[in-house]
């Protein structure tokens, strides 16, 4: 019966994740993908509201940690980019000259993003004197202004953020929320007086990320990215990845310690307490609509979305039940709605004159955490019936209903977290045993793209390259969590507590 309902609504089973995901984002009315530019979806109200609630959590974390919200222009003149390109060229030259890469830590890619940006070269019928591009991220426009704003140690730390649209000329296949060309993006950029205070900022970023992912019930892997995956110009990059049901990892947050590398390029310096000029140290921290992609992917089931209560646009949907919905039932429904809303619970009454089964399906697909039914009999018994989207029904007395509902919402968050953790544990396996001879690595059993492999690793870049080439998977980098007992590194055999993961990344 249930399967028939699902099929009727056009939802593939979640076990076929690569069909389920693109179908559910449209069936649940988060986005419409029919806009005539690939990778630029229209956000429907339900999707946009959910994203806005995620943004609200981010904003309150930013406020708690004394970051201030700015809004920088979207367009960046090409000539500003030259500073960025000079930085990358300089760092590359230093490395080519044999400077120890662990000291330098710069990325391989072209920081200029030149190949990945959309260009604006015409205004009306005029060719512009200086071409401009649509920001892929805002280092260049921001640091240009920071160097005007920072004069003395009293101006530091400068803690800024913005939530904006960014753009990438994406040539790979696009996927809603995961790989798009107009990106709903959060970016924090901070400026500090020295390496140590910038390092403290990275620690704060780490705690902010965990606070947010915890509210979204998303277990994650924290890794220090390998050198070649480090953000251009960064000293090191830390990333949070979640594991999607198909075993692919999705990077949902990154934070970068820049030391004073960008500052030197942008003349970003300050006068210290002794009147000496010092270069600033900087960090950045980014997240995006991928957070919503992770929520959809990790929590949904065969029947549709399941939204974590913290970001569900509707936390309780009240369904008045009666052959003909009586005034009395509606009066009660409105009273319940009012009581719940006074306690900050987002509530909606669905009094449409359609079959209860259809209403049920509708809100199930949309992942509303609690459905609340009330009919004439319930009123006489001073009770109502709630169904949790995670499963189970309960009869609740109407007295003190808001606090019962709040507990139920907490229980749903807890269940989502536990389920996601259980699935996480299922998806992560030990890397199969392997042998190395003449630099050739051979696994004793074939690897599976649907699995994230963990293993002790203490090798060098060459070892890492062999691992990636042989497995066809990507290294996430040194995991923040290490083994409790030392184990032999799979490449060098040396005992180590350092952990790494190999996975197919989105």
Q: Which residues bind its own copies (CB under 8 A)?
A: 32, 34-37, 40-45, 48-49, 52, 68-75, 77, 79-80, 114-126, 132, 134, 141, 144-145, 148-149, 165, 167, 169, 171, 182, 184
- Tell me how far CA of residue 219 lies from CA of 20, 34, 376, 405, 420, in angstroms: 21, 32, 43, 25, 7
In angstroms, give the least distance from the CB of 185 to its own copies: 13
In angstroms, give the least distance from the CB of 72 to its own copies: 5
In angstroms, give the least distance from the CB of 36 to its own copies: 5
Check if the beta carbon of residue 110 is closer than 8 Å to that of residue 88.
yes
CB-nearer residue toward its own copies: 97 or 130:
130
CB-nearer residue toward its own copies: 67 or 501:
67
CB-nearer residue toward its own copies: 15 or 171:
171
Check if the beta carbon of residue 132 is closer than 8 Å to that of residue 119.
yes
In this structure, what token pair is assigned to residue 321? 């039940």
Residue 240: closest CA among 271, 270, 206, 199: 206
In angstroms, give the least distance from the CB of 180 to its own copies: 10
The dihedral through the CA atoms of 30, 387, 330, 315 has a sign that is: negative
**CA 215/CA 213 separation, integer angstroms:** 5
Beta strands in 229-295 (DSSP E): 236-243, 249-259, 269-271, 277-279, 281-288
In angstroms, give the least distance from the CB of 343 to its own copies: 16
In angstroms, give the least distance from the CB of 34 to its own copies: 6
CB-nearer residue toward its own copies: 144 or 254:
144
CB-nearer residue toward its own copies: 167 or 236:
167
Check if the beta carbon of residue 266 is closer than 8 Å to that of residue 82.
no
**CA 211/CA 282 separation, integer angstroms:** 22
Check if the beta carbon of residue 207 is closer than 8 Å to that of residue 294.
no
Q: Could you give the angle at which helices 290-299 and 401-427 cross, rounded to 10 degrees?
A: 90
CB-nearer residue toward its own copies: 69 or 481:
69
DSSP-derived 3-state class of residue 10: coil
Residue 302: closest CA among 1, 2, 96, 30: 2
CB-nearer residue toward its own copies: 132 or 250:
132
In angstroms, give the least distance from the CB of 478 to its own copies: 32
């Amino acid at each position: 019966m249930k399967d028939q309902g699902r099929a009727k609504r056009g939802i593939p089973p979640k076990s076929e994740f690569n069909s389920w995901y693109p179908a559910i984002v449209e069936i649940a009315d988060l986005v419409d993908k029919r806009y005539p530019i690939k990778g630029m979806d229209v956000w429907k109200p339900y999707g946009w509201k959910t994203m806005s609630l995620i943004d609200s959590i981010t904003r309150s974390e930013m406020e708690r940690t004394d970051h201030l919200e700015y809004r920088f222009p979207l367009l960046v003149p090409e000539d500003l980019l030259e500073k960025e390109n000079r930085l990358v060229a300089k760092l590359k030259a230093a490395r080519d000259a044999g400077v120890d890469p662990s000291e330098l830590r710069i990325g391989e890619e072209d920081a200029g993003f030149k190949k990945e940006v959309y260009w604006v070269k015409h205004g009306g019928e005029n060719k512009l004197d200086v071409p401009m591009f649509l920001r892929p991220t805002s280092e260049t426009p921001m640091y240009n202004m920071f160097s005007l704003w920072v004069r003395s140690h009293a101006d530091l730390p400068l803690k800024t953020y913005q939530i904006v649209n960014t753009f990438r000329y994406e040539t790979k296949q696009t996927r809603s929320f995961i790989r798009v060309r107009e990106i709903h993006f959060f970016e924090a950029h901070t400026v500090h007086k020295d390496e140590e205070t910038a390092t403290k900022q990275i620690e704060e970023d780490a705690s902010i990320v965990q606070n947010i992912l915890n509210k979204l019930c998303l277990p994650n892997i924290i890794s220090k990215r390998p050198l070649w995956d480090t953000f251009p110009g960064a000293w090191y990059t830390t990333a949070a990845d979640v594991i999607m049901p198909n075993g692919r990892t999705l990077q949902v947050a990154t934070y970068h310690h820049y030391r004073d590398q960008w500052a030197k390029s942008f003349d970003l310096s300050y006068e210290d307490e002794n009147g000496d000029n010092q270069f600033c140290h900087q960090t950045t921290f980014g997240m995006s609509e991928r957070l919503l992609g992770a929520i959809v992917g990790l929590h949904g089931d065969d029947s549709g979305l399941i939204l974590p209560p913290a970001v569900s646009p509707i936390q309780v949907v009240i369904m008045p039940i009666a052959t003909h919905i009586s005034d009395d039932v509606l009066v009660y429904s409105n009273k319940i709605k009012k009581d719940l809303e006074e306690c900050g619970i987002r509530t909606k009454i669905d009094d449409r004159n359609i079959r209860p089964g259809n209403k049920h399906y509708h809100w199930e697909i949309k992942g509303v955490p609690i459905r609340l039914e009330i009919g004439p009999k319930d009123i006489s018994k001073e009770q109502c019936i709630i169904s949790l989207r995670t499963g189970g029904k309960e009869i609740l007395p109407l007295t003190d209903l808001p606090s019962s509902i709040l507990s139920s919402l907490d229980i749903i968050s807890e269940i989502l977290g536990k389920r996601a953790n259980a699935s996480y544990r299922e998806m992560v396996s030990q890397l199969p045993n392997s042998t190395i001879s003449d630099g050739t690595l051979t696994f004793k059993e074939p690897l599976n793209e649907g699995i994230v492999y963990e293993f002790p690793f203490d090798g060098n870049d060459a070892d890492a390259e062999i691992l990636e080439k042989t497995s066809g998977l990507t290294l996430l980098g040194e995991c923040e969590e290490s083994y409790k007992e030392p184990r032999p590194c799979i490449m060098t055999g040396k005992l180590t507590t350092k952990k790494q993961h190999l996975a197919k990344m989105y």
